[in-house]
Amino acid sequence: MAKLRQNHSQNDNGMVYKAGIFAFIVGILYWGFNQIGGEESSILDTFKEAMEQPAATNDGGAISSDEGLDYALPTSTTGQIVKHKYYTLSYSEKHEQAEWVAYELTVDRLNNKIADRTDNFRPDPKVKTKSATPSDYRRSGYTRGHLVPAGDMGFSEQAMSETFYMSNMSPQVRNQNMGIWRELEEQVRDWGRKYKHLYIVTGPILNEQEFDRIGKNIVTVPRNYYKVILDVTEPEYKGIGFIIPNAISDEHLTEYAMTIDDVEERTGIDFFPDLLSEELETELEGFVDVRRWKFSEKRYQQRVRNWNNR
């Protein structure tokens, strides 16, 4: 019996020794794999961690800015960041409008329309230096152009209402606002339904020569507007940017498409400094293939034939 116990003990010790050796080898292989491919596999960790956060149940299942969008915000050149529940903006007191607005657009939000347009234009109480007012635009010849489109925020009455703060407005030529700008906004909603999850940053280009100012608050009329879009739906991550003149246009939207890097150079704004790793930033912001973004030819024809003439 003593000899049998000794044999069992030796066998047990052997098994433990072999298990230890096996675990050591697995550990070495895992470490080596991480050294080779771990950095690549972790590039999108920020995306995945954000998407795994609990989603609100009353806003179409998407994450609001108060619930995790901070990591996806651009840099601010003004130092005045204003956070609303469903979008965030950087306000320029000098120009009396936002230099950028940032928000998420998801297929769940677009498919959960419960709120109608309110047209409740009003000053933004969260702008410490005070925002422009609706009267600044009256009889100016320019429309109150949304930066965050009301059409993107129909999933919540509060979200819809927030889009009518004057901090979300910029003076746009009517045929631009109702023409190519409308086409771009509707095109982005198509992409939101197709690609499921987009990060969007929009604003006027405020570092160019100004050609007009309006209202008692002296609101700048920009010469150009930009929009950058980041598709974070696995596995085909991609980015695209646009700069659209504040004027009527018969050109196809693809004529205004460019890389996000190009838009950053024109605006002086870094759009996704905390969201993207260096490798992914180089890939998504430095390259664009318009063939990966499906454009509506029918909507383009509708704009040229009808919308531009209203």
What are the tens digits of pLDDT across the range 269-306?
999 998 877 888 888 899 999 999 999 999 999 999 99
Residues 227 and 256: their CA atoms lie apart, in Å, by 10
pLDDT at residue number 121: 98
Active-site hit among 95, 146, 197, 252? 146
Percent of the chain with pLDDT over 90: 69
Q: Is 8 a catalytic residue?
A: no
Q: Once rounded to an integer, what is the mean pLDDT over residues 47-72? A: 48
Percent of the chain with pLDDT over 70: 78
Total residue length of the chain: 310
pLDDT at residue number 195: 95
Exposure string for 198-218, b = 16+ CB within 10 A, e = fewer: bbbbbbbbbeeeeeeebbebe
Domain segments of the chain as ranges: 1-41, 45-309
Residues 96 and 158: their CA atoms lie apart, in Å, by 23
83-123: pLDDT as tens digits: 999 999 999 999 999 999 999 999 999 999 999 999 999 99
pLDDT at residue number 232: 86
Residues 276 and 262: their CA atoms lie apart, in Å, by 17
Architecture of the domain made up of 45-309? 3-Layer(aba) Sandwich (3.40)
62-85: pLDDT as tens digits: 333 444 578 889 999 999 999 999
With tokens 């890389």, the residue in question is 259
Residues 6+ apart with CB under 8 A from 12: none
What confidence category does residue 209 fall into, taking pLDDT thresholds of 50, 70 and 90?
confident
Residues 197 and 172: their CA atoms lie apart, in Å, by 28
Which of 10-14, 137-141, 205-209, 241-245 has the least mean pLDDT?
10-14
10-21: pLDDT as tens digits: 444 444 444 444
Please say whether the beta carbons of 82 and 69 come within 8 A: no
pLDDT of residue 132 exceeding 70, the answer is yes
What confidence category does residue 45 fall into, taking pLDDT thresholds of 50, 70 and 90?
low
232-279: pLDDT as tens digits: 888 878 999 999 999 999 999 999 999 999 999 999 999 999 887 788
Amino acid (1-letter code) at residue 32 = G
pLDDT of residue 172 exceeding 80, the answer is yes
Structure tokens, 126: 């969260």
Give pTM, 2 decimals. 0.81
Which of 67-81, 124-138, 163-177, 179-193 has the least mean pLDDT?
67-81
